[in-house]
Amino acid sequence: MADARPDMILITTDQQRFDTFGRCKPSFLRTPHLDHLAQDDVTFSHAYSDCPVCVPSRVSIMSGKLARTHGCLQNYPSSRFLGHGDTLPAVLRDLGYQTAAIGKMHFGPARCRHGFDEMIISNDYHWEMDPNGSPLKPMQHGIGQNELWPGMATVPEAMTFTAWTANQCVHSIRERRDPTVPFFLWCSFSKPHPPLDPPEPYYSMYRRSDIPERMRSDWSDDARCPECIKRLRQRGSEDLMPPEIIREVRAAYYGLITQIDYNMGRVFSALQDLDLLREALILYTSDHGEFLGDHGLTGKYWFHEASARLPFILRFPKSWKSRPYGTENESLVTLADVLPTLAAAAGGRAPAGSDGVNLLDILEGCHYDPNQDTMDYAAITDGRHKYIWYFEGPSEQLFDLEVDPHELHNAADDPAYASMKQALQAELVAREKARGGAHLAGGKLASRRPRGDTEHERRADPWPGYHTEYCEKDVKH
């Protein structure tokens, strides 16, 4: 009798914007395998990272909890917040699954398995590349992990981390899998996170394309920009990047996405060759987005669409009755929903204390708790309207995503939105009270005076590029 538990593949990218797949993507962007999934899956068009930073997002995937619950709000070592039980792989292991994690995990310590049976991580890639006797070494171009400048791979496509990650996944499916039990594989690509260094042919693929211009908003100039956002972009001088460089940045970014898509096809082929693809459950998402110069910003962190909104697609086994396919669902979802969904698909349930929900049960209605609260800001959305409170100053933003999907107009002072702002702010206060009220003062959202640091001091801050030849470290990045 066939095992009712499906094999499951979680595919994640790092720093992929929501508008690079499906109906939102540019027409020239080549993503044939994602396009095929879109015909065979449910696309959740309003998925968000409630804390759009690498490690907090991964802790949410692993724990089924929102960032304010698990407590990781920056790139701290994951072992502060995760153990080896009640994690995604531990839950699936207890349900009889063989589990493997391949690619960029960003755990700390790097070898902390957090419940996985097997881990093959970026350290292994770099150690394999280092003693190979070749003068070719990856990422020896001097562009760091936090620099949004266009570059080119210093190794051929077959030697890149993206290709290596796909190789290891293919080998795991073909050779390291126990065929007597279902398996769970987390295939974690490190791109399109900087450095933006695609190899050929991806480097040249989009250089002549009609690259979208960066978004300019009525709040992105220095006079109206929230102080904490202005400070961060001045530290990296992101606002000074000329438009021709931004165009090259975007061309390289799109090239990296296509490289991932093409390599993802190799993983699907391995599944198909072993007659596993038809009945596999596949979930594709990213940890957060990337501003790509929009609003004078690069990177992530803030709760705007370019940074916090995600690609999120779920493909079901072919034999499941009444399986939805080729559909789009507008329910608000988060990365905390990954664990409950995969646990339910395996015949189990999420551990007590999880914030996420089982997406198999919510193909209608709203469930999302989008509160995002850090030392810099708190934010909430009902799916159409988004309200952000910045503690420093203070200042606030309100966006109507239905009429202003690119967040070009801050409607916080618009009388037409006064009642909506009041309602969202009241809900944010209520949620903060439920958490203990640490960021409230006098029953209202707290505020603090500007720090008083100057633009000159910010731009003279130490170089933010950090490491160039990346190896997962046990320290904050």
pLDDT tens for 434-458 read 888 888 888 899 988 888 888 877 7
Amino acid at 120: I
Ramachandran angles phi, psi of 129, nearest 5°: -75, -30
Q: How many CA atoms lie within 13 A of 266 on its CB side?
A: 18
Number of neighbouring beta carbons within 10 Å of residue 477: 17
User: In this predicted structure, what is the pLDDT of residue 342?
Assistant: 97
Task: Place 375 in a pLDDT band, splitting at 50, 70 and 90.
Answer: low
Please determine, for residue 324, whether its predicted confidence score (pLDDT) is greater than 90: no
User: In this predicted structure, what is the pLDDT of residue 465?
Assistant: 57
Please determine, for residue 423, whether its predicted confidence score (pLDDT) is greater than 70: yes
Ramachandran angles phi, psi of 76, nearest 5°: -90, 165
Rounded Cα gap, residues 38 and 48, in angstroms? 18
User: In this predicted structure, what is the pLDDT of residue 439?
Assistant: 86
- Angle, in degrees to the nearest 10, between helices 54-63 and 338-345: 30
Q: Which residue has the tokens 């390599």?
A: 263
Mean of the per-residue pLDDT values of the chain: 90
- The domain 8-366 is classified under which CATH number: 2.40.30.10, 3.40.720.10, 3.30.450.90, 1.10.260.40? 3.40.720.10
User: In this predicted structure, what is the pLDDT of residue 462?
Assistant: 55
Query: In degrees to the nearest 10, what's the CA dihedral of 334, 335, 339, 344?
Result: 40
Please determine, for residue 233, whether its predicted confidence score (pLDDT) is greater than 50: yes
Q: What is the mean pLDDT of residues 276-284?
A: 95
Please determine, for residue 13, whether its predicted confidence score (pLDDT) is greater than 90: yes
> Which of the 8 DSSP states describes residue 411?
-
Domain borders along the chain are 8-366
- Greatest alpha-carbon pair distance for the chain in Å reads 70
Number of neighbouring beta carbons within 10 Å of residue 76: 18
| 392 vs 134, higher pLDDT | 392
Q: What is the mean pLDDT of residues 272-300?
A: 95
Q: What is the pTM of this model?
A: 0.88
User: In this predicted structure, what is the pLDDT of residue 455?
Assistant: 84
Both tokens of 468, joined, read 């160039």
User: In this predicted structure, what is the pLDDT of residue 265?
Assistant: 94
User: In this predicted structure, what is the pLDDT of residue 463?
Assistant: 55
**Each residue's pLDDT tens digit, 27-40:** 999 999 999 888 88
Please determine, for residue 88, whether its predicted confidence score (pLDDT) is greater than 90: yes
User: In this predicted structure, what is the pLDDT of residue 464?
Assistant: 56
370-374 contacts, C-beta under 8 A, 24 or more apart:
370/48, 370/50, 370/332, 370/334, 371/50, 371/66, 371/68, 371/428, 371/431, 371/432, 372/50, 372/51, 372/52, 372/67, 372/68, 372/303, 372/308, 373/68, 373/432, 373/435, 373/439, 374/51, 374/73
Amino acid at 252: A
